[in-house]
Amino acid sequence: MKQFFEFVKKECFHIFRDRRTLIILFGMPVVLIVLFGFAITNEIRHARIAVLDYSQDALSHGLVSKITASTYFDLAENLRSEKEILPAFKKGDIRMVIVIPNGFSRDFIRERKAAIQLLTDASDPNTATTLINYANAIIGQYQQEQTHLQHLPLTIHPEVRMVYNPMLKSVFLFVPGVMTLILMLVCAMMTSITITREKELGTMEILLVSPLRPVLIIAGKVVPYVLLSFFISIIILCLGTWIFGMPVKGSILLLLSACGLFCLTALSLGILISSLTNSQQTAMMISMMGLLLPTILLSGFVYPIESMPVPLQIVSNILPAKWFIIILKDIMLKGSGLPQIALPMGILAGMTCFFLIVSLSKFKIRLS
């Protein structure tokens, strides 16, 4: 036991004396969370729009001011003819144009039916769709206000409620994603690098000649990173809840044990990588290409899995990250308990065992 303790102590010296490692370990989570939380967001606020109002009556003015009063849209300019629409888009800062035809209020009141036209810049399709949805919602509201709750013939009025994330805050998606990314980075990449570093330096040989058991060598290298990554996940959780108001509806204990489980999964992946290669560079490249990129692109963190082609959807199932993100969202946003997340938890545990068994057998072969 004392041997093991000495080993862990040595490993801590390595970590805390290497400034680069420390920056990655503690700087990265904070930077990523802040970056994703504030800067990179798919919510739309203050989109600049232009209005071409042929009608110029009280009703049309009311509609325009209702739209621009929301935080989603800012009125950038009033156009005077259709010829000005395309140049306005081409200038680049106008996202949407509202065209109100002549006789808007007359049609609305007499014929109970009026049309307006919404044009959006669909060179960015996601933004365009979102803008149309926002605008439709506001126009719908306006219509209701104007009809003073009169019963319109044959109208279906959908009442929308966004459950679990009523404000549609994208940070609720990013906090679990960033947490997954960081734990992957710290656990998998750092362990694979630190183990291959001993191989590169030649100290691994000395350790293997010593009476220290190989399992203890690996455990000694990994334990400090387990503690660190657990600590880092707590930092991320705190940042998420305090700065971005991310709720934790489920049990905190369950949340922390899920984090612990995922740390183990990532660590076992790191050990596996280090058993495949002897160089730090290769280990880093494998972790980057094989772990980080799929985690960002395929885990449902940035792009929804449902909209991927079927082969990629299948691939996403073998990513531990996908399951961890599901667990995090379920516990934090929906308040799920153990029964609801048993499946993804079980999958993660199974993956961990698999990785550990494979890497241990690899390690033994190398020793014989």
Partner 1 sequence: MTQAAITTTALTKRFGNFIATNAISFDVAQGEIFGFLGANGAGKTTAMRMLCGLLRPSSGEARVAGFDIYTQTEQIKQRIGYMSQKFSLYEDLTVKENIRFYGGIYGLSNSQIREKTADLLQRLSLEQEGNMLVRALPLGWKQKLAFSIAVIHDPSIVFLDEPTGGVDPITRRQFWDLIYESAAKGVTIFVTTHYMDEAEYCNRISIMVDGKIKALDTPAALKKQFGADTMNEVFLQLARAKS
Residues that bind partner 1 (CB under 8 A): 2-3, 5-7, 9-10, 13-14, 17-18, 201-203, 205-212, 367-368
Query: Which amino acid type is present at position 152?
Result: L
CB closer to partner 1, 118 vs 212: 212
Question: Residue 249 or 366: which CB sits closer to partner 1?
Answer: 366
Cα dist. 192→280, 350, 360 in Å?
8, 20, 14
What minimum distance in Å lies between the beta carbon of 278 and partner 1?
A: 12
How far is Cα 296 from Cα 312, in angstroms, rounded to an integer? 13
3-state SS assignment for residue 211: coil
Angle CA 115–117–120, to nearest 5: 160
> Which of 18/43 has CB closer to partner 1?
18
Angle at 314 between CA 347 and CA 43, to 5 degrees: 90
CB nearer to partner 1: pick between 133 and 210? 210
Q: Coil, strand or helix: which one is 100? A: strand
Give the residue from 201, 228, 204, 230 showing the smallest Cα distance to 217: 204
Minimum distance of partner 1 from residue 223's CB (angstroms): 15
Cα separation, 117 vs 362, whole angstroms? 65
CA distance 250 to 337: 6
Least separation in angstroms between residue 349's CB and partner 1 is 32
Neighbours of 348 (CB within 10 A): 21
Do residues 76 and 94 touch, judged by C-beta distance below 8 A? yes
Nearer CB in complex with partner 1: 45/213: 213
Nearer to partner 1, 1 or 162 (CB): 1
- 222's enclosing H/E stretch is helix 214-244
CA–CA separation, 331 vs 336, rounded Å?
5
**Closer residue to partner 1 (CB): 58 or 367:** 367
Minimum Å gap between C-beta 213 and partner 1 is 9
Exposure of 98 by Cβ count < 10 A (0-12 exposed, 13-18 middle, 19+ buried)?
buried
- Give the C-alpha distances (Å, rounded to integers) separating 249 from 333, 334, 339: 6, 6, 15
Nearer Cβ to partner 1, position 126 or 203? 203
Minimal distance in Å, beta carbon 10 to partner 1?
5
Largest CA distance in the chain: 94
Nearest to 221 by CA among 199, 194, 242: 194
Nearest approach, Cβ of residue 1 and partner 1 (Å): 10
- Identify which of residues 29 and 224 has a Cβ nearer to partner 1 in the complex: 224
Only one residue has tokens 């044990």, namely 257
Contact by Cβ (8 Å): 28, 182: yes
CB nearer partner 1, residue 16 or residue 164: 16
Instruction: For the CB of residue 205, give the shortest distance to partner 1 in the complex, in Å.
Output: 5
DSSP letter at 83 equals G
